[in-house]
Chain A
Amino acid sequence: MEIADLLKKAKKGDDHAFYLLIKIHRDRLLKVAISYLKNEGEALEALQEVTFRAYKSIKKVKKPEYFSTWITRIMLNYCHDQAKHRKRMTVTDLFEEYNSKEDYEQKIVIEDALSKIDDRSREVIILKYYHDLKIKEIADILGSPESTIKTWLYKGMKSLRKELEEGSGIHV
């Protein structure tokens, strides 16, 4: 069944159609969650919460072509909130949760660098490099013009380089 049909039914209260709608987007949503939250348990919790939030406001989605963007944005917002809660946790703690020991140091360099650059740029980098989204899709999800996204991306990559150069001094 097409997304348009499912959305129509889901808006009328068809739970199974709604379930299928989320299920179609399941892997994408989980990938976003994992790239922010870094473990299975929290990603599953995120998926549950995003399903909950989406169910409550499904009627707000006017056009089927916006559904994917809309639900991804809900997931991003959730991950942001979670990230704020966890600010006090150090990057190292985060990695101990999921990282295999052999890749430990290298991983910290890139992830540590990512965590230090500004929020918007990090988001654009994650969406582009972890999720293969096009600049246009990122612009839709973040609700900003493509030119702005490109600026953030460029700025972010420059900051990332700076952080990596500083970071590599520590790990040599």
Chain B
Amino acid sequence: MFEREEKELAQSRNKIEKIMVSEELADQAILKGIQKAKAMQLKKNKTRPFSLLLSASLIFLSFFLTIHTSDSAAKFFANIPGLEQVISKIRNDTGLLAAAENNYIQKIGMTKEHTSGSVTIDSIIHDEKSIIVFFTGGNSDAVLSISLLDDQQQLLDAEYKFEQTEALDISDTLESRTLTLTDPQDTMPDEINIRVEVNTDKIEYLTFPVTLDKEKAAKKKEFELNETVTVAGQQLTFTSIEIYPTMTAVHVKYPEENSMEIFGFNDLQLIDEHGNVWSQYPSEPAANTRTKNEEVVILESSYFTESEKLYLQFTSLRALDKKETSVVIDADKEQFIKTPSDGLLSDVYIIKDDLYIRLDTNSFENLIFPLEEVMGSKGGGYGIAKDADHMRYSLPYNGSQLIHLNLVDYPADIERKTKIEIK
């Protein structure tokens, strides 16, 4: 009876579901709500016996301490004048926090105006391979993108891989971008220009000349490994590890002979003799550089921690039989012709220009199809929505009858507790 309205509502709902709210921020919001109510209650109860008050606040305090102990270092560093915002942004990254502790943040504080606002480069953290630029855009409408030029204004071959930092406060205006030189042979020059492309209704460029402070950069530590391990009959070879002040890069090879396609590690980490752990960044495929049978997995940096022993360890990998990694869909019938045999891909349907695919798990938030293959001509529309018991992927639908998609990630694990000695 109301088909059109129902369809439009379904689409609108889907758009709204794409607004993902960070679970961490949501949990913090809950804690703040409790804190606020508690504070008010304590005020009200002022006339009550002191002992009661004390026990209430003690319970409260211990409850919060268990959650926030890892913040204590961040809080300490946050007292460094002028760097509070940067510290708050990197406080969940053990390696970057150590870089800050070792005075490896270079303050820039340079502002330039464009037609509809301004951009300030607040500070940078850099090493021979990467630079993390912390900046604020005065005008929220402008889309800012950052690139690196050398002193001759020539573009440096650097790529934006992933975000190491995260917004922890709703009002956080400080943004950051991590740029890494693409060619393994390249090193960061001493004189660079940070170029900010400001995209409003027109494009403007702001260039910030920066001399990298050599005192605040450090040489990488490199370990040759060439260790091969076998997990569920699949071989993987850890070739080498490079530890930079900003990150750790683990090079892994997956031989062509493997019967399974390996999508990534669930929990690769470095650990030392004291139990210090440096973890993988949230496992987005985009976080790691990947060519066909080779991958560079990025972990937090253990650069500034003096450890006698260092191990690489993991318990599980995401992998699927190579024969199962392609998905074929009959668009007319809205049916799968081919999917992985576990049946997790359980439903497909089309509404107007969007193709919806249901994946029966609610704990997997990676993109399972390659971005470049599914980007529509209209330039977007790839989204994931999380429901109570499933995920819903929406891709732009181009009208063709048969749709072929290759999985680039999938929630199927192979497991083996593995620990490799690095030093």
Which residue on B lies nearest to A158, using beta carbons?
A: B2
Which residue on A lies nearest to B171, using beta carbons?
A: A41
Which residue on B lies nearest to A165, using beta carbons?
A: B4
Is B33 within 8 A of A52, CB to CB?
yes
Does A39 lie at the interface of the complex (its beta carbon under 8 Å from any beta carbon of B)?
A: yes
Question: What per-residue 1/0 map shows which CB atoms of B370-396 lie under 8 Å from chain A?
Answer: 000000001111000010100000000
CA distance A43 to B20 in the complex (A): 11
Does B221 lie at the interface of the complex (its beta carbon under 8 Å from any beta carbon of A)?
A: no
Least CB distance, B181 to chain A, in whole angstroms: 31
CA distance A53 to B131 in the complex (A): 44
Does A45 lie at the interface of the complex (its beta carbon under 8 Å from any beta carbon of B)?
A: yes
Does B34 lie at the interface of the complex (its beta carbon under 8 Å from any beta carbon of A)?
A: yes
A23-B30, A129-B13 given as contacts; is B19 within 8 A of A34 (CB)?
Answer: yes
Is A15 within 8 A of B5, CB to CB?
no
CA distance A35 to B16 in the complex (A): 6
B21: which of A43, A48, A50, A99 is its contact (CB, 8 Å)? A43
B33: which of A39, A50, A99, A107 is its contact (CB, 8 Å)? A50
Is A44 within 8 A of B25, CB to CB?
yes
A41-B170, A51-B29 given as contacts; is B5 within 8 A of A160 (CB)?
Answer: yes
A40-B21, A44-B170 given as contacts; is B26 within 8 A of A30 (CB)?
Answer: yes
CA distance A111 to B16 in the complex (A): 11
A157-B2, A161-B2 given as contacts; is B34 within 8 A of A51 (CB)?
Answer: yes
Is A125 within 8 A of B21, CB to CB?
no
Q: Which of A10-45 contact B (CB under 8 A)?
A: 13, 15-16, 18-19, 22-23, 26-27, 30-31, 34-35, 38-41, 43-45
Residues of chain A within 8 A of B31, CB atoms compared? 19
Spot the interface stretch: B36-44, B155-163, B286-294, B411-419: B36-44
Residues of chain B within 8 A of A31, CB atoms compared? 17
Does A110 lie at the interface of the complex (its beta carbon under 8 Å from any beta carbon of B)?
A: yes
Is A164 within 8 A of B30, CB to CB?
no
Least CB distance, B172 to chain A, in whole angstroms: 10
CA distance A84 to B151 in the complex (A): 54
CA distance A129 to B386 in the complex (A): 16
A164: which of B8, B56, B381 is its contact (CB, 8 Å)? B8
Is A44 within 8 A of B21, CB to CB?
yes
Q: Which of B48-62 contact A (CB under 8 A)?
A: 56, 59-60
B5: which of A27, A30, A103, A164 is its contact (CB, 8 Å)? A164
Least CB distance, A44 to chain B, in whole angstroms: 5
Does A102 lie at the interface of the complex (its beta carbon under 8 Å from any beta carbon of B)?
A: yes
Residues of chain B within 8 A of A56, CB atoms compared? 37, 40-41
Residues of chain B within 8 A of A125, CB atoms compared? 9
CA distance A114 to B5 in the complex (A): 10
Residues of chain B within 8 A of A50, CB atoms compared? 33
Which residue on A lies nearest to B64, using beta carbons?
A: A15
Residues of chain A within 8 A of B25, CB atoms compared? 40, 44
A26-B30, A110-B11, A111-B12 given as contacts; is B5 within 8 A of A40 (CB)?
Answer: no
Does A66 lie at the interface of the complex (its beta carbon under 8 Å from any beta carbon of B)?
A: no
Is A51 within 8 A of B9, CB to CB?
no
Residues of chain A within 8 A of B379, CB atoms compared? 102
> Size class of A's contact patch?
35 or more
CA distance A43 to B170 in the complex (A): 10
CA distance A121 to B251 in the complex (A): 57
Does A47 lie at the interface of the complex (its beta carbon under 8 Å from any beta carbon of B)?
A: yes
Does B107 lie at the interface of the complex (its beta carbon under 8 Å from any beta carbon of A)?
A: no
Q: Which of B93-111 contact A (CB under 8 A)?
A: none
Is B2 within 8 A of A34, CB to CB?
no
Q: Which of A145-167 contact B (CB under 8 A)?
A: 157, 160-161, 164
CA distance A107 to B380 in the complex (A): 15
Does A90 lie at the interface of the complex (its beta carbon under 8 Å from any beta carbon of B)?
A: no
Is A40 within 8 A of B9, CB to CB?
no
Least CB distance, B35 to chain A, in whole angstroms: 9
Is A55 within 8 A of B38, CB to CB?
yes
Does A109 lie at the interface of the complex (its beta carbon under 8 Å from any beta carbon of B)?
A: yes
Least CB distance, A96 to chain B, in whole angstroms: 9
Is A48 within 8 A of B5, CB to CB?
no
CA distance A31 to B15 in the complex (A): 12
Does A49 lie at the interface of the complex (its beta carbon under 8 Å from any beta carbon of B)?
A: yes
CA distance A114 to B4 in the complex (A): 14
CA distance A55 to B37 in the complex (A): 6
Q: Please give me the 3 A-B residue pairs with the lowest Cβ-Cβ distance, nearest first.
A: A51-B33, A55-B37, A48-B29
19 examples of A-B residue contacts, CB within 8 angstroms: A15-B60, A26-B27, A39-B19, A40-B170, A44-B21, A44-B26, A44-B29, A48-B30, A51-B30, A52-B33, A52-B36, A52-B37, A55-B33, A55-B38, A98-B19, A100-B380, A106-B8, A157-B1, A164-B4
- Tell me the A residues contacting B by CB distance below 8 Å: 13, 15-16, 18-19, 22-23, 26-27, 30-31, 34-35, 38-41, 43-45, 47-52, 54-56, 98-100, 102-103, 106-107, 109-111, 114, 125, 129-130, 157, 160-161, 164
